């Protein structure tokens, strides 16, 4: 166990790479790769989606309820026979469910870019947009996933080869959609915004806080009479020395 002072540990954590802070890519990358092979998906695309969705954090839960490594909505999971958030949060189940959904989208659209947009915003949003989703979050998400994917393939993101591979034209403006900042802050904020405590963890934290508050109130009530009977120590006269 590290015996470093807390301040040192905090500094190390704040300056650690995003992959270390948010999740454990080395732990789940091989599992994801094996599942992708079994389902018939490109490993590189799957890894790019996981990195954007959860930064490899299996405990990630978004504000709207998307769960796990591939941020699968419980309603979507039920379409694939997966019931309950606890089961959906299991890494292997989450990866399998998310990849089955992604593969269905790829087969439906025959276009990687559109499938990625639909994975983020939903098929309805893609249909309403005529095959494109202009939500700023979806624009940033799509740019992040596809540039990561193309980088793994060794393809320049704004080239004709990239357009031929992913089916849509990428641009730097997509990364800035909605005024999102660039740099480390812009990378960290989407991950942190999508991550929340699991319900059972939040409940335990709330219960612990309530218990602490009750103890504090009780201690204050017990201390109040004694303060009326005698002044605090720093106001009392010093003992007589003989």
Give the residue numbers marked as catalytic. Answer: 53
Long-range CB contacts (< 8 A, 24+ apart) of 38-43?
A: 39/96, 39/99, 39/100, 39/103, 40/103, 41/99, 41/102, 41/103, 41/106
What does the chain come to in residues? 242
Give just the sign of the alpha carbon dihedral 78, 111, 179, 130.
Answer: negative
Six-digit token pair at 232?
A: 């605090």
Six-digit token pair at 135?
A: 């939500």
Contacts of 90 (CB under 8 A, 6+ apart): 68
Which residues pair with residue 72 across a beta bridge? Answer: 67
- List the Cα angle 49/50/53 in 5-degree steps: 85
3-state secondary structure of 72: strand
């Amino acid at each position: 166990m590290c015996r470093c002072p807390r301040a040192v540990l905090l500094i190390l954590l704040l300056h650690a790479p995003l992959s270390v802070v948010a999740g454990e890519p080395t732990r789940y990358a091989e599992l994801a790769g094996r599942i992708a092979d079994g389902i018939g998906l490109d490993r590189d695309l799957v890894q790019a989606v996981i990195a954007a969705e959860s930064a490899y954090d299996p405990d990630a839960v978004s504000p709207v309820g998307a769960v796990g490594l591939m941020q699968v909505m419980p309603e979507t999971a039920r379409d694939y026979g997966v019931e309950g958030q606890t089961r959906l949060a299991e890494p292997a189940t989450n990866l399998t469910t998310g990849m089955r959904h992604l593969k269905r989208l790829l087969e439906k659209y025959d276009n990687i870019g559109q499938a990625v947009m639909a994975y983020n915003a939903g098929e309805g949003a893609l249909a309403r947009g005529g095959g494109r989703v202009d939500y700023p979050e979806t624009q940033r998400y799509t740019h992040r996933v596809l540039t990561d994917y193309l980088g793994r393939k060794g393809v320049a993101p704004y080239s004709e080869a990239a357009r031929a591979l992913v089916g849509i034209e990428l641009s730097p403006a997509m990364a800035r959609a909605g005024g999102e900042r660039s740099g480390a802050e812009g990378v960290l904020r989407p991950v942190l915004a999508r991550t929340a405590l699991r319900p059972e963890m939040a409940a335990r934290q709330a219960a612990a806080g309530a218990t602490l508050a009750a103890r504090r109130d009780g201690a204050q009530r017990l201390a109040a009479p004694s303060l009326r009977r005698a002044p605090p120590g720093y106001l009392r006269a010093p003992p007589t020395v003989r």
